[in-house]
Amino acid sequence: MKVAVITFPGSNCDADIYRVLRDQYKAEVDRIWHRDQLEKKYELVILPGGFSYGDYLRSGAMAGFSPVMKSVKEHVNKGGKLFGICNGFQILTEAEFLPGALTRNKNLKYICKTVTLKKGSSGNPVTSSLDPQKELRIPIAHADGCYFATSDVLKQLEDEGRVLFRYFGENPNGSLDAIAGITSKNFKIAGMMPHPERAMNSVTGEEDGKVVLDLILGA
C-alpha cells in the first residue's frame, strides 16, 4: 500500500505513524511537507496529530489553507482515502471534509490518558468486521477534543451509519453522543481523536491500535 503522511509545522505524531506503517505494515510511506504537493498516486493520505501551525486561531484551522491541501482535495475527489488522527481530525472538520467541530474539553484541561472505545454505527462499513461488544484501549492527548455538531448533523451521522467509534464508560472530553470518530458519507474519509499509533507495542501493554489501523487500511 502507498501512503502519504502530511507534515505541518507543529506536527509531532507524523514520525510515529510513519514508523508504524513502514515497520509493522510494510507499507510504502512518504512524508510530505506542508508546502509541497502529492506528486504520486496514494491509496491513503494521513493527517497526523500535533499542533499544526501552533493551533493559532483554532486547532487545525490554519492547516486547511496549507498549500498541500490542494492536492489532498484532488486525492479525495479521485476517490482516495483520507484519515485524520487527533489534530488531523480537527483539520478535517475545519477544512469541511467532515461535519462538526472539535471544541475545548468540557473540563477545560488538556487530557492525556488511555480511554476505552467501542464500535460506533452498526452500519459503518469501515468497522463492519468489528464485534460491537469489543472494547478497545486507545490513548488520547488533546485539549480540544469535544466533538460538537448540530442536532441535524448528529441525526444525519446516525441515520447514515457514519459514527466510527464512541467513548465507552467514560466520555473524557464531553463529546456529544460520546463520539470519538466519524466518517464521510462515502466512508472514504475518517477522523478520530484517539491515537491508534500509540497503542501498537506489547511492551506498553497496549496493542488495540492495530485493530483500528487494520480497519482503516482495509476499508
HEC sequence for 15-27: HHHHHHHHHHCCC
Q: pLDDT at residue 111 above 60?
A: yes
- List residues bridging with 4 in a β-sheet: 30, 45
pLDDT tens digits, 169-213: 999 999 999 999 999 999 999 999 999 999 998 888 899 999 999
pLDDT value, residue 97: 98
pLDDT value, residue 203: 82
Helix (H) or strand (E) holding 211: helix 209-218
Question: Are 11 and 49 in contact, with CB atoms under 8 Å apart?
Answer: yes
Residue 135: closest CA among 189, 199, 90: 199
Q: For 38-50, b where at least 16 C-beta lie within 10 A, e where not — what string? A: beeebebbbbbbb
pLDDT tens digits, 53-106: 999 889 999 999 999 999 999 999 999 999 999 999 999 999 999 999 999 999
pLDDT value, residue 190: 98
How many Cβ atoms from other residues are within 10 Å of residue 6's Cβ? 28
d(CA 112, CA 138): 11
Tally of domains in the chain: 1
Global pTM reads: 0.96
Mean pLDDT of 124-151: 97
> What is the span of the domain harbouring residue 72?
2-217
Q: Which residues, in sequence order, are CB contacts of 92 under 8 Å at separation 6+?
A: 47, 60, 82, 84, 98, 189, 191
pLDDT value, residue 128: 96
Instruction: List the catalytic residues.
Output: 86, 195, 197
Residue 90: closest CA among 152, 47, 133: 47
Residue 105: closest CA among 167, 56, 158, 54: 167
CATH of the domain at 128: 3.40.50.880
Amino acid of residue 34: H
d(CA 158, CA 154): 6
pLDDT tens digits, 20-51: 999 999 999 999 999 999 999 999 999 999 99
Q: How far is CA 161 from CA 36, 49, 113, in A?
A: 35, 25, 28
Q: pLDDT at residue 219 above 80?
A: no
Q: pLDDT at residue 145 above 90?
A: yes
Please tell me what DSSP assigns to residue 134. -
